[in-house]
Structure 1
Amino acid sequence: MKKTVLKASVLGAWLLSMVAPSETLAQSADRPWGLSVYANAIQARTNIRNDIWDMSNSTWGGGLGINRYLSPSFDVALQLNYFNMKQESGTVTYNVTGYGPGRFDNEVGTANLGLKLKLNNGKILSETAFLQPYLIGGIGAHYTSVEAYLPVPAAGQPGGVRQEKYDEGQLRMNYFGGAGIGFKLTDGISLFAQTTLNYPTTNMLDGVSNPRSEDELNDRYLQHQFGITFGLGKATDTDGDGVSDRRDKCPDTPAGVQVDKNGCPLDGDGDGVPDYQDKCPTEAGTAALEGCPDKDGDGVRDSEDECPDQAGPVATRGCPDADGDGVADKNDTCPNTPAGTRVDANGCPVVLDRDNDGVNDDVDRCPDVAGSASNMGCPGLDAADSTYMARVPKIEFEFNRAVLKKTSYPTLDRMSTMLSKYPHYNLRISGHADHIGSNEYNQELSVRRADAAKSYLTNTKGVASDRIITEGFGEERPVAPNTTNAGRARNRRAEFRLFIQ
């Protein structure tokens, strides 16, 4: 019955290996649990049997292992084993009777818990290396069912010897240690071979105690395992690129993009732009140009640059344009055109004069109204207005204040009328002060007086604010001596000048 149960357990382990799910992957931090199934070859040393390192007399069995990943350097493994250890005939090692050989037959079941020290821990070999050597040691439970037949003296028996039967079950502790090596076949499966020396705390594996010393433990055995290991579960792979999130350095790779072992999109030319985004995947370039090269650094891809060895703007397809007229130097027959000049395809000025005043539109400040060259293409003031402005019209203010005198209103009204009459002109207002007070105070007062005049024109007359510029000169520009009240009153003023922007 014992043999039937143990053999059924081994058969179940092998069947489990045949139906292991196809998505299982190699044991790692992503899939910390692993299942191993294996065969055992046993070489024993007992009082009856002694074939350590002699494969010709090995006995066989099977086993099932459950492995748990702890860290890159350590795993823990629970190994459940069944095997037979027997000797049909042999010589008792410590034979004091001299009556010939004994024989024994036993069945062994063990449950060993071991700690693995892995050498493929990233320091000696990588975790994903093909060869995965390790050391293992631990403790377990060892159950043996022994049937032994031992020759003992017996008068009246043939040869004066009879066979005495020993039949007993033993449950003992087992200490073991050894080494193994794994072979990573694919990301899903690995093979392994392991050898451990086992010391169960008994000297009765063969039913014979050591006649020299009842306390000396002579029995021990080598256990050789050959098997296959599956990782259990499935690693998390959010972006579905085949690289688990734990190892994926680019966890947001778009679906369908080919990646390297780190989960990052392939970059064949090594320019930092992945191939799926690289417009020039076989030439190293820059991210700004979608992976394309730009030898002259002008921001135009070499493949689109008509002058790849000379920097130039995008507008001229990467060719130099010294005068900035939009025509590349190599095509420009008028290379020194003034900035802002309208040019033709050859880079030469286009001569236009819409108002036919003899001033080309490119320099005409009033291109739709006939004027004169001396006035930048704009019409001048009529005779009356010109005469009026020549007198340098000005207004006056209260003493030590930026308050207009009423006598100033007619002048301001005339300025408003002229700005409406000549829309291409703007107005500059200059504020002034007398010499009473500090320079700093008079400077600030003169600015406030210019602003007061502007405020009258914008708020009362509706003149656009952007057509008026104000400035202050303090007491620097008197028009009369500051030694009299009348002179000082004249110096408290604001002056006007019409100009074309």
Structure 2
Amino acid sequence: MKKISLLAGVVLLSGCSINVIDPANVTTEQLYDLSDPEGDGVINARDNCIDTPLGAAIDNSGCSEDVIEKMRVTLLVNFDNDSSIVDPKYFPEIQKLAILLKDYKSVNVSIEGHTSKVGSAEYNKQLSLKRAEAVKSILVNRYSVNQDRVKAIGYGFEKLLSEGDSDYANAQNRRIVAEIAGGKEVIDMKWNIYSVDKRDQ
């Protein structure tokens, strides 16, 4: 019985000699900046480009890529049969292109006019050029884009969007395409499942 009491006493004494450290009172120095104020998914500790635009496509170092030298954009501008008059309802679509040109001073644009297969090739070539020049005029005169940055080209029905002869196919072919060239300064934006929806906003 004495041995048990003695052993218990030793255990109690040894327990009192253990130093317990309260982790709440110990400060740990953070060596790396783990924040991501840009929200691009790359922490500042390994982000080599800390001011990339929101939504830009980036590499593992947090840097954005330059856009391809040329890109083609089909403007939502269509024409009535045998007409080169731009309906005012298409002005907002043309304005989007004007805003891009104003934001990125190094890019130029070629406005391509296209027609359906109705009529002669020569007549449609002239008509398509008139359509391209009509859109160019709106860019220059309404939205103050420098005319030296806009080129108008008429292709007639050389580059059909739809090969059919229906009214729908003909309407699809009476269109405008913009080819944007240059633009080393344009940031390549990443796509997500909502990107297409943003077009209508």
Normalised TM-score (structure 2): 0.54
Given the alignment, which residue of 117, 136, 139 partners 1:457?
139
Shift of 1:380: 3.2
- The residue aligned with 1:498 is 180
Q: Which gives a bigger RCO, structure 1 or 2 (Cα 8 Å, sep 6+)?
A: 2
1:380 is the counterpart of 2:67 = yes
Question: Equivalents in 1 of 2:72, 2:123: separation in Å?
Answer: 30
- The residue aligned with 1:447 is 129
Question: Equivalents in 2 of 1:471, 1:412: separation in Å?
Answer: 16
Q: 1:410 to 1:419 in 2, by over 3 A?
A: same
Question: Alpha-carbon deviations, 1:323-349, whole Å to 9, x = none?
Answer: xxxxxxxxxxxxxxxxxxxxxxxxxxx
- The residue aligned with 1:477 is 159
Question: Equivalents in 2 of 1:450, 1:393: separation in Å?
Answer: 11
Shift of 1:482: 3.8
Residues 72, 177 of structure 2: 8 Å contact kept:
no
Question: Equivalents in 2 of 1:441, 1:482: separation in Å?
Answer: 20
Q: Find the residue that maps to 1:420 and give its secondary structure.
A: helix
Residues 78, 171 of structure 2: 8 Å contact kept:
yes
The structure with more radius of gyration:
1
Question: Equivalents in 1 of 2:121, 2:131: separation in Å?
Answer: 15
Q: Which amino acid aligns with 2:77?
A: I
Larger strand proportion of the pair: 1
Given the alignment, which residue of 419, 422, 436 partners 2:104?
422
Question: Alpha-carbon deviations, 1:308-332, whole Å to 9, x = none?
Answer: xxxxxxxxxxxxxxxxxxxxxxxxx
Given the alignment, which residue of 386, 392, 414 partners 2:74?
392
Aligned-residue identity in percent: 28
Residues 116, 174 of structure 2: 8 Å contact kept:
yes
Residues 431, 450 of structure 1: 8 Å contact kept:
yes
Question: Alpha-carbon deviations, 1:81-129, whole Å to 9, x = none?
Answer: xxxxxxxxxxxxxxxxxxxxxxxxxxxxxxxxxxxxxxxxxxxxxxxxx
Question: Equivalents in 2 of 1:476, 1:491: separation in Å?
Answer: 10
Residues 86, 134 of structure 2: 8 Å contact kept:
yes
Shift of 1:401: 1.1
**Residues 28-427 of structure 1 correspond to what in structure 2 (within 5 A)?**
379-380=66-67, 392-427=74-109
Q: 1:390 to 1:430 in 2, by over 3 A?
A: closer
Question: Equivalents in 1 of 2:73, 2:177: separation in Å?
Answer: 10
- The residue aligned with 2:47 is none
Larger helix proportion of the pair: 2
Shift of 1:405: 2.5
Shift of 1:470: 1.2
Q: Find the residue that maps to 1:412 and give its secondary structure.
A: helix
Shift of 1:481: 3.3
Question: Equivalents in 2 of 1:480, 1:419: separation in Å?
Answer: 29
- The residue aligned with 1:301 is none
Q: 1:409 to 1:394 in 2, by over 3 A?
A: same
Question: Equivalents in 2 of 1:391, 1:472: separation in Å?
Answer: 16
Any unmatched runs of 5+ in structure 2? 1-63, 184-201
Shift of 1:412: 0.2
- The residue aligned with 1:433 is 115
Once superposed, what is the RMSD of the aligned Cα atoms? Answer: 2.3
Any unmatched runs of 5+ in structure 1? 1-370, 373-378, 382-388
Q: Which amino acid aligns with 2:174?
A: R
Shift of 1:432: 0.5
Residues 115, 156 of structure 2: 8 Å contact kept:
yes
Q: Which amino acid aligns with 1:458?
A: V
Residues 435, 482 of structure 1: 8 Å contact kept:
no
Shift of 1:390: 6.2
Shift of 1:486: 1.2
Q: 1:406 to 1:484 in 2, by over 3 A?
A: farther
Shift of 1:391: 5.7
Question: Equivalents in 1 of 2:180, 2:74: separation in Å?
Answer: 10
Question: Alpha-carbon deviations, 1:203-239, whole Å to 9, x = none?
Answer: xxxxxxxxxxxxxxxxxxxxxxxxxxxxxxxxxxxxx
Q: 1:443 to 1:486 in 2, by over 3 A?
A: same
Residues 434, 482 of structure 1: 8 Å contact kept:
no
Q: Which amino acid aligns with 1:428?
A: S
Q: Which amino acid aligns with 2:95?
A: D
Q: 1:390 to 1:445 in 2, by over 3 A?
A: closer
Q: Which amino acid aligns with 2:126?
A: E
Shift of 1:492: 0.7
